[in-house]
Structure 1
Amino acid sequence: MSFDVPDDRRYLESHEWALEIDGTVRVGISDFAQDELGDVVFVELPDEGDTLTQEEEFGVVESIKAVSDLYAPVSGEVTAVNDDLFDAPELVNDDPFGDGWMLEIEADDASELDDLLTADEYEDQIA
């Protein structure tokens, strides 16, 4: 099976993606991750203003099959949370790289993104 892996973002081995947009890092989970989870029924996310540390747990995504922890791709302050997911968690399945995004972080150090997997490296991991 082939999964969508946009090459404009970086990836964690734990299947989160990070996309830098004007100094802010938007975060979600990959197409592979949402497929492995199955139908997402609940998403627990931090509050705006919370401080995250790279690779620390920031929330949970729950599906009919499993509960998975979510990990921060960069350190910084949460500046936005996708409130749509609380009423429509299935957006994570329907559009993991678009409407299914989870949060935005104002990165303390954007160079932390360089520590993450490129799209090619991530594709090798999930192959």
Structure 2
Amino acid sequence: MSTNQAKFAKSHEWARDNGDGTATIGISDHAQELLGDVVYVELPEVGDDITAGEGFSLVESVKAASDVYAPISGEIIEVNESLEDEPELVNASPLEDAWIVKIKISDDSQFDALLDEAVYQEAISE
């Protein structure tokens, strides 16, 4: 998986099209930096539907708790259970190992509304 394929929401989540009708979703490196040391990730249930722009998970750090919003809509087909035992993966590898869910995409066109990495980096530097 290349992080170049990740597209970002303004709310600091990313989605990566896996090329098979599914997508992987997590939070950005910028988001984990803002949160600080992550101590807990609330995982949703497999089979749940998530809707773009709506909260589906929660990430807690020593500083704050933050909702995680769906960058695109779909049905959850897998959750990253390793985050239950190792929530610190969010800090160590937010764009690779610390993905939160994999979904069956319900609307491919929602990727068009997301930012590519360069535009996202520009937006967060303002």
Common topology (TM > 0.5)? yes
What amino acid does structure 2 have at the position aligned with 1:112?
Answer: Q
Q: Deviations over 1:3-56 (max 9, x none)?
A: xxx431110111001000022110011111111111000001210000111111
Does residue 1:14 correspond to 2:16, yes or no?
A: no
Q: Quote how far apart the aligned CAs of 1:63 are.
A: 0.1
> AA paired with 1:54?
A
C-alpha deviation, 1:66, in angstroms: 0.8
RMSD: 0.8
Q: Which digits, 9 at most, give the CA deviation of each residue in 1:43-77, with x for residues without a partner?
A: 01210000111111101000001111000111110
The ranges of structure 1 where at least 4 consecutive aligned residues each deviate by more than 2 angstroms after the TM superposition are none
Partner of 2:50: 52
What SS class does the counterpart of residue 121 from structure 1 fall into?
Answer: helix
Distance 2:73 2:33 in 1: 27
Report the equivalent of 2:41: 43
**How far has the Cα of 1:118 moved from its partner?**
1.3
> What TM-score do the two structures reach when normalised by structure 2?
0.93
The answer to whether the aligner puts 1:120 opposite 2:118 as a matched pair is yes
One-letter identity of the residue aligned with 1:11 = F
Q: Does 1:102 align with 2:79?
A: no
Distance 1:23 1:39 in 2: 33
5+ residue gaps, structure 1, are 1-5
1:88-99 residue pairs with structure 2 within 5 A? 88-99=86-97
Match of 1:69? 67
SS, match of residue 99 in structure 2: coil
Alignment partner of 2:79 out of 61, 78, 81: 81
Amino acid in structure 1 at the alignment position of 2:85: D
1:28: which partner in 2? 26
Q: Aligned partners of 1:12 and 1:45: how far apart in 2?
A: 19
Q: How many residues align?
A: 122
Paired residue type of 1:8: Q
